[in-house]
Amino acid sequence: MAMLRWVTLALILFSVVSLCKSEAEAEAETEAEGGEAVLTLDANNFAEALSSHPFIVVEFYAPWCGHCKRLAPEYEKAAASLKNHDPPIVLAKVDANEETNKALASEYDVKGFPTLKIIRKGGASVQDYKGPREADGIVKYLKKQAGPASVEIKSSEEATSLIGDKKVFIVGVFSTFEGEEYTNFTTVTETLRSDYDFGHTSDATIIPLKDSPINPPFIRLFKPFDELYSDSQDFNVDSLEKFVEEASTPLIAVLTKDPDSHAHVIKFFNSPDAKDTRF
């Protein structure tokens, strides 16, 4: 009987040790996977990484940078999550403090740390990352950036949900999704996608604020300030970019505690035509 108790106790202790070991090994594997989620790039493998991944986000960092250290664990978490996205969204990092990488950092106009760049199509498109710096926000922002630059709006419910009343949103209305006007619109959406939200539709009746006729092709820029929307039918690429930039800048800046208004206020103060500020 005593022997049986000792055997039972030994089996229990063995099970506990095995369980602890399994948990420790699993935790180590998870940490290893998390550490490997962000690709480490340098001047030697950078071009190859860009050619292998049509959509990649690159953080240029310096080991001594406090902001970089705070971003690192959030960046790792986001990278681990985005690996499972279809298609995968790749996050990478480059030590811009290394002498061999300084020319690369200069090429990408890195002037401070951390600097994050969204690079598409092997480097044909390079845009600044302007999203959040915490894991969940990074994931949400990049999933949107990896999708289409403009979302097709098919119902008034979708229009209301997408446009909202706290941000700038640009809608293109077209009889058909082809032709010069639509092509130019898509060109502008790709260029400005990191700064603005875009949608397009073939049904003018679902667009809000339709107090005046909308005859396609047509652009309506919604905004939570001034006259609430601006319209244009000039589809020249340069003219359309200028229209978006000018129409999205407030004529009057209203300073409030609402964080959604901060981007509009910042844009107002960055404008050379800033004249009126109200508290």
Residue 83: C-alpha distances to residues 94, 141, 177 (Å): 19, 15, 32
Active-site position among 20, 35, 53, 68: 68
Q: What residues does 151 pair with on adjacent strands?
A: 199
Residue 133 sits at the vertex; the CA angle it makes with 255 and 162, to the nearest 5 degrees, is 60
Query: Is residue 254 within 8 Å of 278, Cβ to Cβ?
Result: yes
Query: Is residue 212 within 8 Å of 188, Cβ to Cβ?
Result: no
Active-site position among 20, 35, 67, 147: 67
| Dist. CA 76–CA 22, nearest whole Å | 24
Query: Is residue 191 within 8 Å of 124, Cβ to Cβ?
Result: no
Whether 123 is catalytic is no
| Dist. CA 234–CA 157, nearest whole Å | 28
Q: Please, is 48 exposed, middle or buried when counting C-beta atoms within 10 Å of its C-beta (0-12, 13-18, 19+)?
A: exposed
Active-site position among 65, 85, 122, 123: 65
Whether 53 is catalytic is no
Whether 20 is catalytic is no
* Residues present in the chain in total: 279
Whether 68 is catalytic is yes
Residue 248 sits at the vertex; the CA angle it makes with 132 and 120, to the nearest 5 degrees, is 50
Q: Report the sign of the C-alpha dihedral through residues 192, 198, 201, 203, in that order.
A: negative
Active-site positions? 65-68
